[in-house]
Structure 1
């Protein structure tokens, strides 16, 4: 499968989650998910492999622990991060809200200037990747091809 076909497949899978309500720690298309649940669900659909269960986490886990759990998990499942300028539609974007705090939000790039993510209270939506979002990108990861 070409990179272009893979990108279209990932974006189509992510768009299939649009409208799913926000539910902290959930990962069920149409029922509820948070940003991690969305990425885990799309990853499983595309690769045929489930990621490890993240275990319970509080909404403020990143501020409290400081551990880069999200970036480390993305690296384990997708390989080394890519520069933002190399991002393709279908890539996972991991965001850091501010310096000195662990990255704690994720979404999937759906076009050069848009991404799909889940957040309270909107649920899964497609948003413009405006400057304020771009500045917060802490890592870009490509979902591996199935098989």
Structure 2
């Protein structure tokens, strides 16, 4: 298990609260990534501006994807590893607006994410989630 997965699993059970990033108190999917970043790397690389739950969907802006490209290391989608950051498009033609952290690969693949109505959970990375992945990234860690 990687340092990133260990850190993410410590957030399981945290309630879903939009625009927050506080382990045990509340977080959304971006807040989970921000918290894991703080725990594994250090200070966050930029201040996150306020964002709506639609993530600029009406304008068609890929704000989350652009931010990921500024701070994360892109990987081929087929090169899965525990600790990868997954970017999801929740429906075809929509902007990418959900983030998860790959926990397991291969048979029994799973990911950790903050999901509205559920909080931070570890979910099976089955076909319905797999087909929504639009990008895969690694955190810029010096050691893993």
TM-score by length of structure 1 reads: 0.89
Deviates more, 1:107-116 or 1:7-16: 7-16
Tell me the number of residue pairs that the alignment of Structure 1 and Structure 2 aligns.
140
**Structure 2 stretches lacking a partner, 5+ long:** none
Give 1:146 shift.
Answer: 4.4
Say which structure is richer in helix. Answer: 1
Q: Which residue of 2 aligns with 1:119?
A: 115
Matched, 1:131 2:127: yes
**Structure 1 stretches lacking a partner, 5+ long:** 1-6
User: Once superposed, what is the RMSD of the aligned Cα atoms?
Assistant: 1.4
Local SS of the residue matching 1:95: strand
Task: Detail structure 1 runs of 4+ shifted over 2 Å in the superposition.
Answer: none
Equivalent of 2:99, from 95, 106, 121?
106
TM-score by length of structure 2 reads: 0.91
Q: Which residue of 1 aligns with 2:51?
A: 57
Contact 2:112 2:122 in 1 (8 A): yes
Q: Which residue of 2 aligns with 1:40?
A: 34
Q: Which residue of 2 aligns with 1:74?
A: 68
Contact 1:94 1:105 in 2 (8 A): yes
Say which structure is richer in strand. Answer: 2
